Amino acid sequence: MLLPPDAGARLVVGLLTSVWLRTPAAHFAATVDSVLGQTVPPAEWIILRNGPVEADVEAVLARARSAAFVRVIDVAENAGIIGAMRLCLQAATAAYLLPLDADDLLERDALEVLASWASEHQADVVFSDEDLLTNDIPEHPFLRPGFDPVLHAESAYVWHACLFRRDRALAVGVYEDQGAEYCHDWDTWKAGAEPWSVVLPLAMPPQTGGIITRVEVHQLPDSSDPAAVKIAGARFQARLTSDDEISPMVCSYP
């Protein structure tokens, strides 16, 4: 366990996840295990059944619902990525929210560490390092620097894990821009470029091996066209850099 000194009261944290027709059941099952095994569980986990899902994913959803904090919501037709995340955000009630892809893994103390840092520093946003898993082997650690609006405009370098205030996210219109499809993490920061008053990278001493999020690397589902993803990213980047100036963000670091 790695906590800041005098962490104080814990924040109320919720998770946001969507599953759809081509969600890999094995990866989603591992995500569920990582959440159910947290040292401090979330107050709520909103899981959207984003249109029809396969029977094996349905079975994983049934197992997830064994936890009292899990709430599964539905839409009859797939709402897309941005639409799905907006529905999850609107359904949530927790003060702080963590978007969690259905194939991402959290270390056992991830929520406790994130919430402790946000509470200690009264941060609007806390983000962490991450690692990529290939065949269950962590191979590509990404040790993020502090938030830089210029670097942010160049690439979406902050995404997993990212804990943010629900009230602020609703106020600035997070997940409302349909033009940010495939880029919803990037859009979160664009939407909040001025209103996010304190942004903290999770400062983890390197000797602790403090990566708390691991992302599964696997073949993209049929409908996740890599070319479409690349084009969407290029369009969104052009919108970011077309502004008269890059909005400043007030950053505070421990």
The crossing angle, in degrees rounded to 10, of helices 80-91 and 184-191 is 60
Q: pLDDT at position 124, please?
A: 85
Report the C-alpha gap between 87 and 85 in whole angstroms.
5
Q: pLDDT at position 20, please?
A: 97
**Torsion angle of the four alpha carbons 92, 93, 95, 101, in this order, in degrees rounded to the nearest 10:** -20
Rounded to the nearest 5 degrees, what angle is found at the Cα of 201, between the Cα atoms of 100 and 34? 30
**Residues present in the chain in total:** 254
Give the β-pairing of 137-138 and 131-134. antiparallel
Helical H segments across 54-205, by residue range: 55-64, 80-91, 110-121, 149-154, 166-172, 184-191
Q: Rg for the chain (alpha carbons), in Å?
A: 17
Q: pLDDT at position 95, please?
A: 94
Q: pLDDT at position 125, please?
A: 83
- Residue of 84, 111, 82, 109 lying closest to 96 (CA atoms): 111
Cβ distance 13 to 43 under 8 Å?
yes
- Residue of 178, 202, 172 lying closest to 190 (CA atoms): 172
Q: pLDDT at position 227, please?
A: 52
Residue 243 neighbours by CB distance under 10 Å: 11
Give the β-pairing of 13-19 and 44-50. parallel
Q: What percent of the chain has pLDDT over 90?
A: 39
What residues contact 154, with CB distance under 8 A and at least 6 apart? Answer: 237
pLDDT tens-digit readout, 65-115: 999 999 999 999 999 999 999 999 999 999 999 999 998 888 888 898 888
Which parts of the chain sit beneath pLDDT 70?
1-11, 129-145, 152, 154-156, 159, 190-254
* Cα-Cα-Cα-Cα dihedral sign, residues 25, 156, 86, 178: negative
What residues contact 93, with CB distance under 8 A and at least 6 apart? Answer: 14, 43, 44, 166
Two tokens, residue 68: 């009292």
Report the C-alpha gap between 246 and 248 in whole angstroms.
6
Report the C-alpha gap between 134 and 219 in whole angstroms.
11
Q: pLDDT at position 88, please?
A: 98
**Torsion angle of the four alpha carbons 172, 176, 182, 188, in this order, in degrees rounded to the nearest 10:** 10
Domains along the chain with CATH numbers: 13-241 (3.90.550.10)
